[in-house]
Amino acid sequence: MVIDLHLLLKEEIIYELLSIQDVVRWITSCFNMSNLWYGHGNDNPWDEALNLVLSVLSLPPYLWDKVYTAKLSFKERKLIYKLVLKRIKKKIPVVYLTKKTWFCGHELYIDNRVLIPRSPISELINNKFKYIIPSYKEPKYILDLCTGSGCIAIACAYLFPNSHIDAVDISLDAINVTEYNIQLHGLENRITPICSNLFEKLKKLNYDLIITNPPYVDKKDINFLPKEYSYEPKISLVSDNNGTEIIEKIISQAFSYLKKDGILICEVGDKMINIIEKYPEKCFQWLKIKNGGIGIFKMQNI
């Protein structure tokens, strides 16, 4: 006999689920039977369930092997149960339910003032920008443009301990979240949050490295995305000119803010072909991403 979702979601279930493993397995079954979209850091129901449970318990993902047999309190099970219902019935992304995620191994506070961190730029950071930035030339001044939660700025601060980073976003709401995360990591002396429309308030010829994950979703496409995306701020997703307007501004202005030999790394996602066609004369170096993701280029200020 196959148990239907209605039976699985009865509140009495929380009396039967005792361990972390029990709860994660149950959530995975519920998510498997629901029409959910996995595009905000996870790509399958098991990882989504794991993320929800461990975040509620304030445990990082890498501790699963050590804690999966641990018993949950009744209050913990009840809270998790309520969040599972919200995830299924309202299609709210898990990260917005738990207010927590990890990026490059670093914990972050997240709410719907900012995009949920999921950029494949994380792979470049985890690989220490191998073959992208010479190991002997650690960047001293870095710009994280369109910073959102500050995830890239914070990850780069850990990677390059002698660097100073400007974390810039047009949204004051986003900058407030960035400030919170900077304080969470004790990086107030190394990361400066700046509310600015791209380069508007920045000094020219100042940066050794600019990293940016700008909005690049076409306005016409936003209403066709899964409901989960509707909880994210549109200002962080949408750009004019078929999604390329902000990318084009960055390409046209960035080299005035890069020092000689400075590097621009920019994520354009599915707008890769549009950008190649728009700038046939420019030498984009398209970076390979092993773990999924397309459209990240490197350009150097020669």
The pLDDT of residue 76 is above 60: yes
Residue 121 CA to residue 147 CA, distance in Å, equals: 12
Q: Per-residue pLDDT tens for 121-150? A: 999 999 999 999 988 889 999 999 999 999
Residue 250 CA to residue 244 CA, distance in Å, equals: 10
Q: Per-residue pLDDT tens for 207-217? A: 999 999 999 99
Section 72-92 average pLDDT: 96
Section 25-53 average pLDDT: 94
Q: How far, rounded to the nearest angstrom, does the alpha carbon of residue 261 sit from its chain's CA centroid? A: 28
Percent of the chain past pLDDT 70, that is, above it, reads 99
Q: Per-residue pLDDT tens for 83-122? A: 999 999 999 999 999 999 999 999 999 999 999 999 999 9
User: Is the CA virtual torsion 266, 269, 272, 275 positive or negative?
Assistant: negative
Mean pLDDT of the chain: 94
The pLDDT of residue 6 is above 70: yes
Burial class (CB in 10 A: 0-12, 13-18, 19+), 74: exposed
The pLDDT of residue 64 is above 80: yes
Q: Would you state the pLDDT for residue 1?
A: 46
The pLDDT of residue 56 is above 70: yes
Q: Which domains does the chain have, with CATH numbers?
A: 5-98 (1.10.8), 114-300 (3.40.50.150)
pTM of the model: 0.94
Q: Would you state the pLDDT for residue 3?
A: 62
Strands (E), 204-291: 207-212, 217-218, 238-239, 258-267, 285-286
Q: Per-residue pLDDT tens for 229-283? A: 999 999 999 999 999 999 999 999 999 999 999 999 999 999 999 999 999 999 9
The pLDDT of residue 172 is above 60: yes
